[in-house]
């Protein structure tokens, strides 16, 4: 027979652990957001490389390629930060479900009731994403107007391979970012599949643009059936 005192001590230790874990996940969410803003600062600062182009220290082709690399690096950081934000938020929601009740969906907040859609990006991340893409497109247009357009119709003997460097690089970066995003999407799906959290009756609230959700009801039902089946075999 289990000692009631030991059971209470274990429950208290579990609650203390969950609260510390909750604080840590919230701290990591804030740190992720800060890191992304730092990367945007680097992206804006790298534009100073064009001052070296004016001084003819670096060719325009290589300067444009460098800016594109930094833009791609910034976008990759956004997708990584999006994954860690959503994953940590899902862990936070799973912990909140251990303490909050269905009434708390309306009395406190409704976010813990369902998890966010697969790697849904925050609006502030979308703004930074748009900034990185806009910078890349503007510099590509500038490079095309200065280095490519004047040479259209010229003999192939005058073709300079370095002029095409930024455009080959854009293709390579796009492929990398696509595969990178798919990888983190799959990682988030894997997390939600294995750790959907306990079921919460969310019929009293409606989810939409404020908190786009992922439907995990079927997965939770499967886990509940597995637990019931295991309990029957043990008994």
How far is it, in rounded angstroms, from Cα 209 to Cα 73?
28
Exposure of 80 in the CB half-sphere (CA atoms within 13 A): 13
How far is it, in rounded angstroms, from Cα 3 to Cα 222?
32
The domains of the chain are located at 4-234
Tell me the three state secondary structure of residue 120. Answer: coil
The tens place of each residue's pLDDT in the chain, 235 residues long, gives 445 557 777 777 777 777 787 777 777 666 666 666 666 676 666 777 777 777 777 888 988 998 899 899 889 988 998 898 888 888 888 888 888 888 888 888 888 888 887 778 888 888 889 988 998 999 999 999 988 887 776 676 666 788 889 999 999 999 999 999 999 999 999 988 898 888 888 888 888 877 877 666 555 555 555 555 655 555 5
- In DSSP notation, 3-66 reads -HHHHHHHHHHHHHHHHHHHHHHHHHHHHHHHHHHHHHHHHHHGGGHHHHHHTTSS-HHHHHHH
How far is it, in rounded angstroms, from Cα 231 to Cα 225?
10
Answering whether pTM is above 0.85, one says no
């Amino acid at each position: 027979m289990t000692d009631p005192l030991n059971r209470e001590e274990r429950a208290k230790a579990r609650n203390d652990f969950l609260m510390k874990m909750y604080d840590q996940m919230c701290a990591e969410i804030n740190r992720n957001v800060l890191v992304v803003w730092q990367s945007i600062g680097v992206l804006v600062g790298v534009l100073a490389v064009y001052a070296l182009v004016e001084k003819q220290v670096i060719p325009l082709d290589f300067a444009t390629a460098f800016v594109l690399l930094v833009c791609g690096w910034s976008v990759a950081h956004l997708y990584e930060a999006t994954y860690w934000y959503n994953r940590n938020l899902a862990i936070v929601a799973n912990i909140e479900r251990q303490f909050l009740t269905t009434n708390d969906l309306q009395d406190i907040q409704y976010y813990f009731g369902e998890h966010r859609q697969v790697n849904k990006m925050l609006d502030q991340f979308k703004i930074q994403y748009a900034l990185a893409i806009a910078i890349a497109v503007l510099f590509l247009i500038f490079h095309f107007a200065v280095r490519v357009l004047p040479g259209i119709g010229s003999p192939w003997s005058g073709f300079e391979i370095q002029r095409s460097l930024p455009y080959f690089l854009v293709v390579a970066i796009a492929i990398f970012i696509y595969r990178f995003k798919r990888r983190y999407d799959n990682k988030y799906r894997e997390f939600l599949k294995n750790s959907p959290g306990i079921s919460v009756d969310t019929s009293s609230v409606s989810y939409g643009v404020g908190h786009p959700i992922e439907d995990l009801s079927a997965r939770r039902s499967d886990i509940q059936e597995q637990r019931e089946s295991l309990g029957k075999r043990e008994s």
